[in-house]
Homo-oligomer: A and B are copies of this chain.
Amino acid sequence: AQSSVTIYGLFNVAVMKSNSGTANITQLVPGAAGNIWEMRQFGTSRLGFRGNEDLGGGMSAQFTMEHRFNPDDGAQNNASSFWSGRSFVQLTQAGVGSIYLGRDYTPIFWVQLKTDPFGNDGLAQSGSAATYAGYTTPASPAALGGARAPNSIGFVSASFGGFVGRATVALSEGTQTGRIMGLAGEYTAGPLYAGVGYETVKDGVADGLGLVNVGVSYDFGVAKVMGYYGRSQTRTAGTTRGENTNHVWALGGTAKVGPGLAKAMYYKIDPRFANNTRQKLGLGYDYLLSKRTNLYVEAAFGKEDARTNKNAYGFGVKHTF
């Protein structure tokens, strides 16, 4: 039961420029002004602490606390949550699974992450903001939401013949919040990954909102191909349950090209009513200096009904420790 704390983290800093188009190409890095060179992070930089304790009999305890920050100015990324990345304590029984308590990703996130060639990094990513099709995990306070939920009690199974199950309940806290229930099943066999996720809100405030998503990837060796589909229930004030049913499709892949990795992604979101179909093409190339450090270039092209085309490009460095 000796203490052992591991420090880990990531710096991801880029210089980018975009035109002044109005199409929403989530995740163009938020706040980027048009037509000037700016320094932005292309993935949330982080500093984390984690530990493991062997409790005997196949049982163990873990903790993870992960801070997110903006390396360009040194500010914490989420003003409401210093440890906004992850903050949980976990008990694990080998061959069965883990139960965790705290703040972490909800199950649908993992299905989305593993079929996004950019891994939710950079301006070329599809990213959970788009591939959740307008649905956002509720949270308290609101600023803590997104792909994670505070107040979570979660279970992640061990791998049973390549199958892993996930289940989470995120408890309410006061009235501005949502009790979330989430499920996911993931299957990995050699080059194949397939996952399906489900999340719904039940707390009398945002009942019925949620997301179903499906993701598949296959690694052909020279290239890895990824497909994703999501169907969300969202709502604007005063509307009925499930009035907005949005669909999103994404297709992407990565390929080893020369000394690095080429990446491409395309998605299309088709909300139910409005004339607001949105498309984005993202391209990128990572030049690997080591397993931990790479230089990259990225470009993104967005199109949206009734808006002008938006494009952006940038280059940067990603360093993991």
- The chain A residues found within 8 Å of chain B, CB to CB, are 1, 3, 5, 7-9, 11, 13, 15, 31, 33, 36-39, 47, 49, 51, 53, 55-56, 59, 61, 63, 65, 69, 71-76, 78, 80-89, 91, 101-103, 139-140, 144, 150-153, 171-174, 289-293, 316-317, 319-321
- The answer to whether A80 and B71 touch (CB under 8 A), given A63-B321, A317-B91, A319-B61, is no
Contact assessment for A171 and B38 in the assembled complex, using a CB-CB cutoff below 8 Å: yes
Contact assessment for A290 and B55 in the assembled complex, using a CB-CB cutoff below 8 Å: yes
- The answer to whether A13 and B102 touch (CB under 8 A), given A140-B73, A321-B51, is yes
Residue in contact with A150 in the complex, picked from B72, B88, B152, CB distance below 8 Å: B72
Q: Which residues of B contact A78 (CB under 8 A)?
A: 74
Contact assessment for B87 and A171 in the assembled complex, using a CB-CB cutoff below 8 Å: no
Contact assessment for A82 and B76 in the assembled complex, using a CB-CB cutoff below 8 Å: yes
A-side interface mostly: strand
Contact assessment for A321 and B144 in the assembled complex, using a CB-CB cutoff below 8 Å: no
Q: Which residues of B contact A69 (CB under 8 A)?
A: 65, 82-83, 87
Could you list 5 further interchain pairs (A-B, Cβ under 8 angstroms) beyond the known A13-B89, A15-B101, A75-B81? Answer: A3-B320, A3-B321, A65-B74, A74-B102, A89-B319
Contact assessment for B319 and A39 in the assembled complex, using a CB-CB cutoff below 8 Å: no
Q: Which residues of B contact A151 (CB under 8 A)?
A: 38-39, 72-73
Q: Which residue of B lies closest to A150 (CB)?
A: B73
Q: Which residues of B contact A290 (CB under 8 A)?
A: 1, 53, 55-56, 61
23 A–B contact pairs at CB < 8 A?
A: A13-B89, A15-B153, A15-B171, A36-B171, A37-B171, A38-B172, A39-B101, A39-B150, A39-B171, A53-B319, A53-B321, A63-B321, A65-B69, A69-B82, A71-B87, A72-B87, A72-B173, A73-B144, A74-B86, A74-B87, A75-B81, A75-B82, A101-B316
Q: Which residue of B lies closest to A78 (CB)?
A: B74
In the bound complex, CA of A319 to CA of B320 (Å)? 27
- The answer to whether A71 and B89 touch (CB under 8 A), given A38-B171, A101-B316, is yes
In the bound complex, CA of A244 to CA of B247 (Å)? 61
Contact assessment for A1 and B49 in the assembled complex, using a CB-CB cutoff below 8 Å: no
In the bound complex, CA of A47 to CA of B48 (Å)? 11
Q: Which residue of B lies closest to A4 (CB)?
A: B321
Q: Which residues of B contact A316 (CB under 8 A)?
A: 101
In the bound complex, CA of A194 to CA of B152 (Å)? 42
Contact assessment for A55 and B103 in the assembled complex, using a CB-CB cutoff below 8 Å: no
In the bound complex, CA of A320 to CA of B144 (Å)? 26
Shortest distance from the beta carbon of A14 to any chain B beta carbon, whole Å? 8
Shortest distance from the beta carbon of A147 to any chain B beta carbon, whole Å? 14
In the bound complex, CA of A87 to CA of B152 (Å)? 31
Q: Which residues of B contact A72 (CB under 8 A)?
A: 87, 101-103, 150-151, 173
- The answer to whether A1 and B291 touch (CB under 8 A), given A33-B174, A150-B74, is yes
